[in-house]
Amino acid sequence: MQRIAIDMDEVMADTMAHYLERYNADFGRNLTVKDLHGRYVLEVIDADHRERAREYFEQEDFFANIPVMPGSQDVVRDLTKRYEVFITTAAMDVPCSFSAKYFWLQQHFPFISPSNIVFCGDKSIIAADFLIDDNIRHLRNFRGEGIIYTAPHNVYETAWRRVNNWEDVRRMFLTSGVS
């Protein structure tokens, strides 16, 4: 059975929409996901807001309330019937997120066994056939095939096969099969 590793933030969890909602409310701005195309959020927000806005990621409740990416629950559930699925999140980047991310997964993806949740830093250690991730840092060193999940910061990346949403994931892995 082939193994698929799936990232959380910006793949299963709509982290950027949640971040922008909080940022816009706190600073009276109207930034949208389109404003971020090809750039990371800290490159776009006002310089004098960066320190306070960076603190969002240090608040456990930030990760507890992130919306689920549309379609992800159904597709991940279906993937578990044909593949070994592991959720792989670089939680070492934000250590305060461990508990919130774990409980978020239990709430929204209760069919994923805790033994199939991997909190790590460098995803090159993940032994899987495929990694679905938005971050090229993880795809670069991954030993299997990296699949880039579209997020604002990676829209211009062309080095990997791309999925734009969970219906694309369904087509790639469940409808047409991976080739």
Catalytic hit among 9, 14, 133, 134:
9
Residues 72-124 pLDDT 10s: 999 999 999 999 999 999 988 888 888 999 999 999 999 999 999 999 989 99
Is there a catalytic annotation at residue 7? yes
Locate 156 and state its tokens: 């211009």
Which listed residue (7, 14, 133, 134) is catalytic? Answer: 7
Give the total residue count for the chain. Answer: 179
Encoded amino acid at 109, one letter? F
pTM of the model: 0.94
**30-81 pLDDT, tens per residue?**
999 999 999 988 889 989 998 888 888 888 789 889 999 999 999 999 999 9
Q: Long-range CB contacts (< 8 A, 24+ apart) of 107-111?
A: 108/12, 108/68, 108/73, 109/12, 109/73, 109/76, 111/76, 111/77, 111/80
Domains recognised in the chain with CATH numbers: 3-13+68-175 (3.40.50.1000), 15-64 (no CATH)
Q: Is residue 9 among the annotated active site residues? A: yes
